[in-house]
Amino acid sequence: MICEDAFVYHVGGASFSSNPKARELIKRNKKIFLQRHPNAVLHHKREGNLAALEEYAKLQQEGLWNDGLALRAKRRIETLLSDLPRSLIKKWLWLRKIRKILHHFIIPNNANRGFIKNSLHA
């Protein structure tokens, strides 16, 4: 479930630092979670952002588009582009995967798409 109206602010990276103890704790908790919920599927946040953008594209195609949705899509696109895989091959594969959705929003075929394109480069 994605809640578009909530924001969690992490100050100073204390929540998800590069601290080995924090990483080990996250790994341990993930293992416990998967043991308790063996059918759970944990997707990377990139996949969640892509799924949200695909839903926004459907809303736009159905004519259910407004400035609020355009702003949310803009933020999703910014997040999608700022959270690229580190590996060159994985990065290339990911960019190929998201190319269609990026073209849907960034190529200025109408005023709403132009808004996102212009906002991304602002």
DSSP 4: T
Report the pLDDT value the prediction gives residue 21, as an integer from 0 to 100: 85
Cβ neighbours around 55 below 10 Å, total: 14
pTM over 0.85: no
Q: What is the pLDDT of residues 83-94, one digit of tens each?
A: 889 899 999 999
> Please, which residues have CB within 8 angstroms of residue 90's CB and are 6 or more apart in sequence?
none
Q: What is the pLDDT of residues 1-60, one digit of tens each?
A: 456 666 565 555 556 666 788 888 888 988 998 999 999 888 888 898 899 999 999 998
In angstroms, the Cα distances linking 11 to 8, 16, 58 are 10, 10, 35
Residue 112's pLDDT band (boundaries 50, 70, 90)?
very low
Residue 120's pLDDT band (boundaries 50, 70, 90)?
very low
Q: CA 100 to CA 105: how far, in whole Å?
A: 9
Mean pLDDT of 74-87: 87
Say yes or no to pLDDT of 107 above 60: no
